[in-house]
Amino acid sequence: MGYTIYKKKPAAPVRGVLFDMDGVVLDTEKLYARFWQEAAVSLGYPMTHEQALGMRSLSRSAGQAKLESYFGPGISIEVVRAKRIELMERFIDEKGVEPKPGIFELMDFLKANGIKTAITTSSPIQRVKKHLGPLGLLERFDKLCSGYDVPKGKPEPDIYLYGAASLDLKPEECLALEDSPAGLLSASRAGCLTVMVPDLDQPDGETEKLLYAKADSLADVIALLR
């Protein structure tokens, strides 16, 4: 456990931390991968686990392009996504969701040090509230920012520009915590200090070029900030 720094930190102090939700705050990325695959297969598209991983954090347009790259024209992300939501929400209603290890310790550290926080997720706000509320995490964040509130979703930079602005900060004053390539590209394009907290996979060579650092866990983000 620990962290790896890939780039020299700019002079601006970290005044805010922007959190992707799924796979960073919540242990739900495994559910997205599972149910993207199950939804596609149920509709006649033989999606592999690796292909399902590629669907993470994408906007609708980017997701449509990704599905077409897998299965050709004619597939509809609206149809596959609706099935994925149906299956995944049914599972969550029965089983609930779990927080990622270290999130409460990290939030305590950030509050104690006067560092602002925001959720910057591709999910709609109602889902953010539904999933964070029962865990006692909803009130921990200063702002909740959804990809549905910006013109373009991840991997475009809009959500991270919005997240920084919501905290009255510049992107370069914000650490962005992400686990997926699309999210990391979004944060990097916005000008944030991009930190990967790996969930389902490790960064490849192209992803490493986007990173300020990689933290093995949320607890390691505390050590990184110190």
Same domain, 44 and 146: no
Q: What is the pLDDT of residues 143-202, one digit of tens each?
A: 999 999 999 999 999 999 999 999 999 999 999 999 999 999 999 999 999 999 998 888
CA distance 146 to 169: 17
Same domain, 71 and 89: yes
Burial class (CB in 10 A: 0-12, 13-18, 19+), 105: middle
Which of 95, 110, 138 is at the close of a domain?
95
CA distance 73 to 45: 12
Q: Is the pLDDT of residue 1 over 90?
A: no
Which of 71, 95, 119 is at the close of a domain?
95
The reported pTM is 0.86
Residue 125 belongs to domain spanning? 3-27+99-225
- Label residue 21 left, alpha or beta by phi (over 0 means left) and psi (-120 to 50 means alpha): alpha
Same domain, 146 and 167: yes
3-state SS, residue 14: coil
Same domain, 91 and 61: yes
Let me know the angle formed at the C-alpha of 182 by 221 and 143, rounded to the nearest 5 degrees.
55
Same domain, 71 and 183: no
Give the pLDDT score at 59.
Answer: 84
Which of 37, 65, 95 is at the close of a domain?
95
* pLDDT bucket at 29, cuts 50 / 70 / 90: confident
Q: What is the mean pLDDT of residues 91-103?
A: 93
Same domain, 134 and 174: yes
* pLDDT bucket at 109, cuts 50 / 70 / 90: very high
Q: What is the mean pLDDT of residues 16-32?
A: 94
Q: What is the mean pLDDT of residues 18-26?
A: 96
Same domain, 55 and 145: no
Q: Is the pLDDT of residue 10 over 80?
A: no
Give the pLDDT score at 14.
Answer: 95
Same domain, 39 and 10: no
Same domain, 104 and 87: no
Q: How many domains does the chain have?
A: 2
Same domain, 63 and 146: no
* pLDDT bucket at 107, cuts 50 / 70 / 90: very high
Backbone angles phi, psi at 22, to 5 degrees: -75, 120
Mean pLDDT rounded to a whole number for the chain: 94
Give the pLDDT score at 12.
Answer: 79
Give the pLDDT score at 201.
Answer: 82
Give percent of the chain with pLDDT exceeding 90. 85
Same domain, 150 and 122: yes
Same domain, 16 and 46: no
CATH at residue 176 = 3.40.50.1000
